[in-house]
Structures are given as C-alpha cells and as structure tokens.
Amino acid sequence: MTQTAIFAAGCFWGVEQTFRDTNGVIETEVGYTGGHKDEPTYEEVCRKTTGHAEAVRIEFDPAVVSYDELLEIFWNCHNPTQVNRQGPDVGSQYRTAIFTVDKDQQEQAESSRDKLAASGRFDAPIATIIEPLGKWWKAEDYHQQFFEKRGGGACHVPG
C-alpha cells in the first residue's frame, strides 16, 4: 500500500525530479495547494493572487522509503530558511512548506524541522510552514515531468 507526501520547495520542476529519482517513489505530480482559489492556473499562481504554493505530490512505498527519509530529501533539496523564494525565484508560490495528510505526518514533519533547527546547519531560522493539506489542484500537463519531457535540469535544486 502506498502513502502520499506533499512538499513545496520552490520551482516544482526540479523538486519533482529530485523525488522521481528516489528509490521507493512510485509516482509524482506537480500542482498547487495552500491557496484560496478553486482550480488555479499557472498564470494565476504566478500573479500571486491565489495564495497557492507550487508543490509536488509524491506517492511512495513506505516499505522502500520512509516518510522520514523523504523529509531528509526535502530539507536537502532547497534552502528552508528563505521566505517566499528559492534562489532566483521570488514569490509566495515558491515558499517552503510541508503539507501533511494526517497527524502522524504533522508530528514527524515538526520533529524533523525542530531537529534541523537545533542542528546549527543554518545561520537563519527555518522558514518552512507545516500545515494540513487542503485542496490539491493538479498543474497543467506541460508542467508534469518537465525535465523528462524537455531535457535539462536547472532550477535551484542543489546537486
């Protein structure tokens, strides 16, 4: 039985590819969540009028990769101290966030964040928002598996 995880860590193209390359991830989908408008389009999200974050929904096999391991990948694939930006991408749609599907994920995400904050790895406070998942809206097809379809892999995601 698979489980679901949802992460926002800046531009969803590179974040999606990072998780697609993870053993135990069965499927990914990029989309929008955390906002107030039904069925937002990419253009609306980019205009910063919907409140949504660009995010990645991950279906994973917990027998192969745990939620805690996915959290580690999340923390390592972006800078969780940046508020409403990642690298050159600026705006609330690029915020760092974990959208949890149940109480266990909420507790694991908060514990993981607190452990990272106490580690001294970053000079600035962790800005990642952790909140229950609201409505999920699938992004347009041309955004799905963007790098696999078009080649390349730039974005901000560290190697």
| Residues annotated catalytic, as ranges | 11
What DSSP assignment string belongs to 115-144?
Answer: HHHHHT--SS----EEEE----EEPPGGGT
Burial class (CB in 10 A: 0-12, 13-18, 19+), 23: exposed
Q: In the structure encoding, which two tokens stand for residue 61, read together? A: 């096999």
Q: In the structure encoding, which two tokens stand for residue 108, read together? A: 């694991």
State the Cα–Cα distance between residues 68 and 53, nearest whole angstrom: 22
